[in-house]
Each structure stands twice: as C-alpha cells, then as structure tokens.
Amino acid sequence: MDIAFDRQHLWHPYTSLSDPTKTYPVVGANGVRIQLADGSQLIDAMSSWWCCIHGYNHPVLNQAVTDQLQHMSHVMFGGLTHEPAIKLGQQLVAMTDPSLDAVFFADSGSVAVEVAMKMAAQYCFEQGLTKKHRFLTFAKGYHGDTFGAMSVCDPVTGMHHKFSHLLHQHLFISSPRCGFDQAWEDHCMDEFKQALAEHHESIIAVIFEPIVQGAGGMNFYSPEYLRQVRALCDEYQVLLIFDEIATGFARTGKMFAYEHAAVAPDILCLGKSLTGGYMTLSAVLCNRMVADGIGTHFMHGPTFMANPLACAVALASTQLLVNSDWQQRVSAIASSLQQGLQDLSAHPAVKDVRVLGAIGVVELHQTINWAAIQERMVAKGVWIRPFMNLIYMMPPLIIEAAEIDHITEALATTLQELL
Ligand SMILES: *Cc1c(COP(=O)(O)O)cnc(C)c1O
C-alpha cells in the first residue's frame, strides 16, 4: 500500500496535509474485527463512527447489495421511482413515530441536517412567518460539517471563529445540564424557557440531538428535558427538529432516542447506521403539518437521492435490526461496559464514567494525547478514536461480552501506562 501517497495527498477527517496524523492501513473487516495490513486484528469499539451496527461483511447485507446490483445500482429519482426506495420509506414510516409519515432521502448526515433546516425554513416562509430567520440550538451540539449544519454546531469545537463571516448567526443556549439518571430539577429548563419566551417570533425551529449529544461532547441528559422542550415548542408554535443521526437505530437502548421521553419531533434526521455502515445514505422524516405546509415545491433534490443500492442495503439493515433481539443485546453491552469501566472512575485522571445503551464514555479531567492512547490500544488489539478529553466506545451491536472485556481491560491498562 502506498502510504507515502496517502500521507502526502489524501486528507483524512480533521487532519492537516502538512502535518498528517498516523493512519493504519486496513485490508479487510469481518464481524467486529478490522484487519490491518500487518496481519493484526482490531476489535472495533467505534462501529466506524456509529455506523456498523451489525458488524462488517455481514452475509445478509452483502446479499442485499449483490441482489440489487443485478437490477440497477442507480437511477435518478427525479420522475422515476423504485422498489428499494418505496420499501425503505415504508419501513422507516412504520418504525418511527406514527406522526412522521413523509420521507426525504439524502446523501449523508450533514445533508440531512441541511434538508431539515431548509424544510423548516420553507414551511415558515409559506406560512407567512417572515420574521423567523434563525434556529435555536445548544452548546456542545454536533450536526455535520456543511455550512448550514456547521452553523448549529457548538461554536467552540466547531471552530466558528474561523468562519464567522460566512456563517448565519443562530441562537445558542447552554447544553442540557440534568444528567440522564439524575433527579429532575426545574431550573434545568430556565434558559430554554427564557430563550423561547423572548425570541420565539424570530425562531424557525429548535434543532438538537435528543438524549445524547455525540461528537460535541458525549453528554447524556434527562428525557424530562425533551418532554418540556416539546411542550414549550407547542406552546410557542416553534418547529422541533431532532437530529438522531448518531442516536437512531437502537444505540441508546431505544430504537430512537426520543422514545425515552415519549415525544416526537416535527422533523427527524436519520443517517449513520441507516445502511448498517455499508453506504452513505440519510433520511429526513416529517409530519403532515410540515409536509403540507411546505406548499408546492420543496427546493431540494440531490443527484444521488434514494440511490437504489443504498436503499436496498438500508432496508436489509433495518429489517435485520427490527427482527433481532436488539433490546437484550444493547442492555447486555450496557452492563458489560458498566462493569468493565466502573473501576476507572477511581483513576485520578478520570472525571466521569458513564454508560447509556451501547455507548460507554470515560471523561478525563484534561484534553489528552489521543493519538498516543490510540496507538497503545491498537497494540492491544482495539480500535478507538478519542477526542478532546473523551474516550468513548460504541461497538457493533453483535459484539460479545468477552470482546467488550478485552476493550475495557485494554483501556484500563493504557490509562495506567500513560496517565
Ligand atoms: C455524524 C453526524 C452528523 C453528520 O453526518 P455525516 O454523514 O458525517 O455528514 C450529523 N449529526 C450528528 C448527530 C452526527 O453524529
């Protein structure tokens, strides 16, 4: 493998070409394991960034792609339609809240967020709500790297200062503070309440990640927060967008994180594990009020909208998930993570250890040399990618208890070695 070319010419996520970080050449992946070119095998604790819920090289998903290849890999969705899109649409409508029954397929998570924001904005325009010109969102959010999505990401970790001359200015409040398991305290709602009371006339929609703020800080918060947000959005007639691109498809212990609170958004973004990590595809669902309120033409239409290969594998992946014992699997992963990580809370460098569903987080007091941690973990046969002061794990749902123990033991040893 021409690693020199990779280093000199290929950007990797969030890296510099003048000073590239280390990359590990991969030659294959199977089940929960990634196979490196040097022959070593890594247990994947990342699901390739929340995506590969069924693991790699899954026979059912492989079959879905090869079957679809025999018919067509792509046709335009403008004026044409096909079975994979229709069946996937039916599946998503059936498995999400009954109010969500209109589906827009897009290419990636970031584009889904763009589409959701545009849907909300066009809805408001068509309703004559012309004073509405911005979104309300939280610190520590992450919604993608395109400009619209970036504009509602955490201003600090999203490095807004480098792009502020190009970014639309939205309204930010603190991230939800009341922890997932903590007793609810009413003051946790004060800032949101006040923001909506003062600014609802200018707010198109509230957009955030329900229950788990992912790439912006791995913050788990109370379902009561969601319930109250929903009630306040109804009271002030402000649209509500949930970005479930990371949390959707069983990761938090519910099929969708909003189920923890038994509320539904007006607009829902799905992505990442939608195709089981096989291909890039996202979906935006909305309710009838939004769909009908948008009027004649919704102004969006990606070239690869509803790509048949991606839809076929997404259908296979969601069916596989729905028909599996995912609740038991996620709770088994949760208890293994809990058990394996709990002793780490006594480590002086560790600020907090938390687990929700198939997500385990070790928060350190200080920002870490994540590349050093990664290198030690790779030497111990585990793939993780920490960021800021956070070491987190969200393994494929097919992972076995012994494999989770391997991950948590490797992490404990690594922390002892380095911190
Ligand atoms: C990853 C992510 C996105 C962006 O998805 P891409 O496919 O990387 O564009 C948006 N929102 C959330 C919550 C995410 O985790």
CATH number of residue 117's parent domain = 3.40.640.10
User: Is 215 touching ligand 1 by the criterion CB < 6 Å?
Assistant: yes
Is the same domain home to 259 and 341?
no
| Selected catalytic residue, list 56, 123, 142, 221 | 142
Output the DSSP codes for 83-114.
Answer: HHHHHHHHHHHHHS-TTEEEEEEESSHHHHHH
The C-alpha atoms of residue 342 and residue 334 are separated, in whole angstroms, by: 12
State the DSSP code for 359: E
Is the same domain home to 195 and 273?
yes
Whether 221 is a known active-site residue: answer no
Is the same domain home to 219 and 168?
yes
User: Is 144 touching ligand 1 by the criterion CB < 6 Å?
Assistant: yes
Q: What is the pLDDT of residue 186?
A: 95
102-130 per-position pLDDT tens digit: 999 999 999 999 999 999 999 999 999 99
Q: What is the atom index within ligand 1 of the atom nearest the CA of 149? A: 10
Domain for residue 92, yes or no?
yes
| Selected catalytic residue, list 107, 154, 243, 266 | 243
Domain for residue 394, yes or no?
no
* Contact assessment for residue 137 and residue 170, using Cβ atoms and an 8 Å cutoff: yes
* Contact assessment for residue 189 and residue 119, using Cβ atoms and an 8 Å cutoff: no
The C-alpha atoms of residue 294 and residue 122 are separated, in whole angstroms, by: 6
* Contact assessment for residue 358 and residue 250, using Cβ atoms and an 8 Å cutoff: yes
11-21 per-position pLDDT tens digit: 999 999 999 99
Cα 416 to ligand 1 centre (Å): 33
Is the same domain home to 228 and 345?
no
Is the same domain home to 251 and 284?
yes
Is the same domain home to 302 and 346?
no
Domain for residue 250, yes or no?
yes
CA-closest residue to ligand 1 atom 15: 246
Q: What is the atom index within ligand 1 of the atom nearest the CA of 111? A: 9
Mean pLDDT on 123-141: 97
Domain for residue 185, yes or no?
yes
Mean pLDDT on 237-251: 98
Residue 84 has pLDDT above 90, yes or no: yes
The C-alpha atoms of residue 276 and residue 54 are separated, in whole angstroms, by: 6
pLDDT band at 311 (very low <50, low <70, confident <90, very high): very high
Distances from the Cα of 182 to the Cα of 89, 151, 177, 216, angstroms: 37, 30, 10, 21
Q: What is the atom index within ligand 1 of the atom nearest the CA of 215? A: 15
Q: 364 Cβ partners below 8 Å, 6+ apart?
A: 349, 350, 351, 389, 390, 391, 419
User: Is 243 touching ligand 1 by the criterion CB < 6 Å?
Assistant: yes
Q: 86 Cβ partners below 8 Å, 6+ apart?
A: none
Whether 123 is a known active-site residue: answer no
User: Is 113 touching ligand 1 by the criterion CB < 6 Å?
Assistant: yes
pLDDT band at 50 (very low <50, low <70, confident <90, very high): very high
Is the same domain home to 246 and 352?
no
Domain endpoint, select from 322, 345, 369: 322
Q: What is the pLDDT of residue 139?
A: 97
Residue 177 has pLDDT above 90, yes or no: no
Domain for residue 382, yes or no?
no
Domain for residue 296, yes or no?
yes
Question: How many domains does the structure of the chain reveal?
Answer: 2
Its domain, for residue 183, covers 63-322
Using DSSP, state whether 117 is helix, strand or coil. helix
**What is the percent of the chain with per-residue pLDDT over 90, rounded to a whole number?**
97
Domain for residue 280, yes or no?
yes
Cα 283 to ligand 1 centre (Å): 12
The C-alpha atoms of residue 177 and residue 335 are separated, in whole angstroms, by: 24
Mean pLDDT on 259-273: 98
Whether 145 is a known active-site residue: answer no
One-letter amino acid identity for 238? V
155-169 per-position pLDDT tens digit: 998 888 899 999 999
Is the same domain home to 268 and 342?
no
Domain for residue 381, yes or no?
no
User: Is 268 touching ligand 1 by the criterion CB < 6 Å?
Assistant: no
User: Is 245 touching ligand 1 by the criterion CB < 6 Å?
Assistant: yes
Q: What is the pLDDT of residue 157?
A: 86
Residue 296 has pLDDT above 90, yes or no: no
Mean pLDDT on 191-195: 98
Is the same domain home to 75 and 168?
yes
Is the same domain home to 201 and 349?
no
Is the same domain home to 184 and 134?
yes
